[in-house]
Amino acid sequence: MDGGTIPYLPEALKKKKENEMNWVKLDPEVKCFLPGVPRATYLPYPLQIVQGADNIVIAYEYQNAIRVINMKAPTKAPADTWMGWSNGHWEGDTLVVDVTSQNDNTWFDHSGNFHSDALHVVERYTPRSADTLNYEATIEDPKTFSKPWKISMPLYRRVEKDARLLEYRCPEMAEELLWGHMAKKTVDQQPGK
């Protein structure tokens, strides 16, 4: 984050603290739910940008998440979604992406930082060298924060030969946590026997 602390409104700050206390139960990422934007960018899994003429795809290794950034005239989201609705345009060398219509079910991190469905994110991807990008995201949400705030970080291109995204379809990792308690008990596990 660029400077200081996240400017929560007082009620929202209370909720953030409650989230933090219970993050294993409450963080949607633990359940392998789609992470939203910008969290998808800074999860510890690679992403791949496929730059087409009319659309730019960002594919995330995490849960095979995907965004299609519309590079033609901006369009409106048909509905709220987990990954939001992305319209992009160029400002010089910078890809600017306006992300709206994210639902309120995602968090920013494991620390319980959250948002409402009024979230509006503007991302900027700027090449800073042949193999790095500078990524910035401005986050505003008048139902949760008193003013907009910004994060920034470098994105490093994976330069090893044949770098590629692998599969991380994580429902398989989360399902024991979610449904393990509902498995059939073996004879050994039945109470009283």
Partner 1 sequence: MHHRKIVFSCVFAASAAILLVAQVPAVGQQTAPAKKAWTPGRTPDGDPDIAGVYDARTATPVERPKELGAKEFYTDQEFKEVSDRLHRKDPTAPGASAGVFGEGGGDNRRVQYDKDVFGFDVFLSNYVATKRTSLVVGPEGKIPPMLPEARERNATRNAYNRAHETDRVQNQNLETRCILSNRQLIPLFPIEDSNTHLQIVQGKGYVAIYQELNHDVRVIPTDGRPHLAKEIRQYQGDSVGHWEGNTLVVDTTNFTDQTAFRGSSENMHLVERYTKVSPDMLLYRFTVEDPKTWDKPWTVEVPWMTAKGPLYEYACTEGNESLGLILGAARVKEAEAAKSAK
- By the criterion CB under 8 A, which residues form the site for partner 1? 28, 31-34, 48-57, 59, 63-66, 68, 70, 75, 78-79, 81-83, 90, 92-93, 105, 127, 130, 162, 164-167, 169, 171-172, 174-176, 178-180, 182-184
C-alpha–C-alpha distance, residues 126 and 144, integer Å: 28
What separation, in Å, do the N-terminal and C-terminal C-alpha atoms of the chain show?
Answer: 56
Q: Closest approach of Cβ 23 to partner 1, in Å?
A: 18
| Alpha-carbon distances, residue 128 vs 138, 144, 157, 190 (angstroms) | 19, 32, 11, 61
C-alpha–C-alpha distance, residues 2 and 126, integer Å: 17
Question: Which is nearer to partner 1, 133 or 145 (by Cβ)?
Answer: 133
Across the beta sheet with 66-70, what order do the strands follow? 47-51, 55-60, 66-70, 85-91, 94-100, 120-129, 132-140, 149-156
Q: Closest approach of Cβ 70 to partner 1, in Å?
A: 7
Give the number of residues written for the chain: 193
Q: Closest approach of Cβ 65 to partner 1, in Å?
A: 7
Question: Which is nearer to partner 1, 11 or 117 (by Cβ)?
Answer: 117
Q: Closest approach of Cβ 145 to partner 1, in Å?
A: 24
Question: Which is nearer to partner 1, 75 or 146 (by Cβ)?
Answer: 75
